[in-house]
């Protein structure tokens, strides 16, 4: 049985009637930029996103860019970002002319190693961008402590973690800004590109709103140099249809993750990562297992954008991926090259290596199908393929 990594069509076709009606409504409204569809979606999603002021943005990448622009970060400034993340987290820092300074990761929760980030602070450091990677919150107590101690702004990259919680509070409720993505494969996926920026402070939100439309107020009177960072009302209308189902999508992902862990952890050489070994505050231990399963920490609500295994040992991760692929099972490597090793960042870098955990994760991780509509038979197929791989001695 083939098991795709993702099946976006299935989720959207289940809402065919409502999505078509939303399209029809926008079509007939004649309002194709901003307007009431956007306002309604921004209001509806804000509580989930952790902050009262929400702005629909053209993408998660643009939301990061807009947050940095609003904070006035630019040439000569440094911004701490995890090396083990999607490209946009670091790319946006370069786009505003600032320098991304890459910090290492935790091998257990995959998030920013805050102790390592602190070692890389200089007099030019202006902000830190914790990423809630794969749907699990970064160590926000440590991040906020670091920010306070050094006077840094905080932008939470919540692209993979809409609605995830840290100590009972939604992610997005901690930083000056939080950014989200509705890229189709994210937990709340649009039918195209879309993103969100949220802020706790009204004045910051208003500045961002101005910059979202070329810094103009009123139209054609430009106080600041902004850009066009607007989400389409059509996407807002689609997202408003999907939003009421979000809790169900999340519960299905959580059930899929729990089922994978329950089935896989009994296999020879498989261990579940231990929160006790968390490396977010430095000093992580090396794992010796043949397969390390991801863990949801007890103090967070993990929303499982990805279910990411570690396969230690030279070449073993790639061998597992090949084995799954031969059985028609989709998987993906998030991420094969840490940001510190990307050629585009080679010029003008402030190199304060090493990044041993990011390098190790890039060679060991593999993400399995975890989408909400995954069936029990499909999970069984994935588990049986992994079991076969391990049994073959690889």
Ligand X SMILES: *Cc1c(COP(=O)(O)O)cnc(C)c1O
Q: How far is the CB of 375 from ligand X (least distance, A)?
A: 26
251 vs 253: CA distance, rounded Å: 5
Q: Indicate which single residue of 101, 112, 131, 361 sits in contact with ligand X (rule: CB under 6 A).
A: 131
Residue numbers 9-68 binding ligand X by CB under 6 A: 59-61
301 sits near ligand X (criterion: CB under 6 A): no
CA distance 275 to 161: 19
CB closer to ligand X out of 130 and 291? 130
What are 366's two structure tokens? 């593999």
Cα→Cα distances 232→20, 24, 38, 55, 166, Å? 16, 15, 8, 12, 31
Q: Can you state the angle between helices 233-242 and 36-49, rounded to 10 degrees? A: 50
- Nearest distance from residue 66's CB to ligand X, in Å? 12
What is the rounded distance in angstroms from the CA atom of residue 266 to the CA atom of residue 44? 42
**Contacting residue, 48, 51, 79, 88, with ligand X by CB under 6 A:** 88
| 229 scored as a contact of ligand X (CB under 6 A) | no
Q: Does 136 bind ligand X (CB under 6 A)?
A: no
Please tell me whether residue 112 adopts helix, strand or coil conformation: strand
Say whether residue 86 binds ligand X (CB under 6 A). yes
Q: How far is the CB of 353 from ligand X (least distance, A)?
A: 22
- Mark residues 150-169: x for contact with ligand X by CB under 6 A, - for none: -------x-xx---------
Is 178 an interacting residue with respect to ligand X (CB under 6 A)?
Answer: no
Distance from C-alpha of 28 to C-alpha of 13, rounded to nearest angstrom:
22
If one asks whether residue 183 binds ligand X (CB under 6 A), the answer comes out as yes
What is the nearest approach in angstroms of ligand X to the Cβ of residue 13? Answer: 22
Nearer CB in complex with ligand X: 85/136: 85
389 near ligand X, rule: CB under 6 A: no
Instruction: Spell out the long-range contacts of 328-331 with Cβ–Cβ below 8 A and sequence spacing 24 or more.
Output: 328/1, 328/2, 328/3, 329/2, 329/3, 329/368, 329/369, 329/381, 329/382, 329/385, 330/3, 330/4, 330/5, 330/6, 330/369, 331/5, 331/366, 331/367, 331/368, 331/369
Query: For residue 34, with 0-12 CB atoms within 10 Å meaning exposed, 13-18 middle and 19 or more buried, which class applies?
Result: middle
β-pairing verdict for 300-301 and 165-166: antiparallel
Smallest separation (angstroms) from ligand X to the CB of 164:
12
**By CB under 6 A, is residue 308 in contact with ligand X?**
no
Q: Binding to ligand X (CB under 6 A): which residues in 66-85?
A: 85
* Region 253-292 residues binding ligand X, contact defined as CB under 6 A: none
Chain positions 329 to 368 lying near ligand X, rule: CB under 6 A, are none
Answer yes or no: are the C-beta atoms of 130 and 102 closer than 8 Å.
Answer: no
Residue 249 binds to ligand X (criterion: CB under 6 A): no
* From candidates 89, 331, 360, 363, binder to ligand X by CB under 6 A: 89
- Chosen residue from 195, 226, 279, 369 binding ligand X by CB under 6 A: 195
For ligand X, give the closer residue by CB, 78 or 193: 193
Which of 390, 370, 108 shows the shortest CA–CA distance to 259? 370
Question: Taking the alpha carbons of 131, 132, 138, 141 in that order, is the dihedral positive or negative?
Answer: positive
Q: Tokens at residue 52, please?
A: 């009262």
Interface with ligand X, residue 306, by CB under 6 A: no
Positions touching ligand X (CB under 6 A) are 59-61, 85-86, 88-89, 131, 157, 159-160, 181, 183, 193, 195
């Amino acid at each position: 049985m083939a098991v795709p990594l993702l099946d976006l069509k299935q989720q959207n076709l289940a809402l065919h009637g409502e999505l078509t009606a939303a399209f029809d409504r926008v079509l007939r409204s004649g309002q194709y930029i901003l307007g009431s569809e956007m306002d309604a979606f921004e209001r509806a999603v804000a509580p989930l996103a952790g902050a009262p002021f929400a702005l629909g943005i053209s993408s998660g990448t643009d939301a990061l860019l807009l947050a940095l622009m609003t904070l006035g970060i630019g040439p000569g400034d440094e911004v701490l970002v995890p090396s083990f993340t999607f490209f946009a987290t670091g790319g946006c820092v370069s786009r505003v002319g600032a320098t991304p300074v890459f910090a290492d990761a935790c091998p257990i929760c995959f998030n920013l190693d805050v102790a390592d980030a602190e070692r890389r602070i200089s007099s030019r450091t202006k902000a830190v961008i914790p990423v809630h990677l794969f749907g699990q919150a970064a160590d926000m107590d440590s991040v906020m402590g670091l920010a306070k101690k050094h006077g840094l702004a905080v932008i939470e990259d919540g692209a993979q973690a809409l609605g995830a919680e840290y100590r009972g509070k939604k992610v997005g409720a901690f930083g000056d800004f939080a950014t989200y993505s509705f890229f189709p494969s994210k937990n709340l996926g649009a039918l195209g590109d879309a993103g969100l920026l949220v802020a706790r402070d009204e004045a910051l939100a208003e500045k961002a709103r101005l910059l979202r439309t070329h810094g103009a107020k009123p139209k054609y009177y430009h106080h600041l140099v902004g850009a066009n960072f607007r989400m389409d009302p059509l996407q807002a209308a689609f997202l408003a249809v999907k939003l009421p189902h979000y809790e169900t999508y999340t519960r299905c992902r959580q059930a899929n993750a729990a089922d994978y862990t329950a089935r896989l952890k009994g296999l020879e050489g498989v261990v579940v990562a231990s929160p006790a070994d968390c490396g977010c505050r430095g000093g992580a231990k090396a794992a010796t297992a043949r397969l390390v399963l991801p863990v949801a920490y007890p103090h967070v609500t993990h929303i499982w954008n990805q279910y990411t295994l570690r396969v230690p040992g030279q070449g073993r991760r790639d061998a597992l991926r090949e084995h799954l692929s031969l059985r028609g099972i989709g998987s993906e490597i998030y991420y094969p090259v840490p940001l510190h090793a990307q050629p585009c960042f080679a010029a003008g870098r402030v190199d304060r290596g090493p990044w041993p955990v990011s390098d190790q994760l890039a060679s060991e991780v593999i993400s399995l199908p975890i989408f909400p509509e995954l069936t029990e038979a499909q999970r069984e197929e994935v588990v049986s393929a992994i079991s076969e791989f391990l049994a073959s001695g690889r």
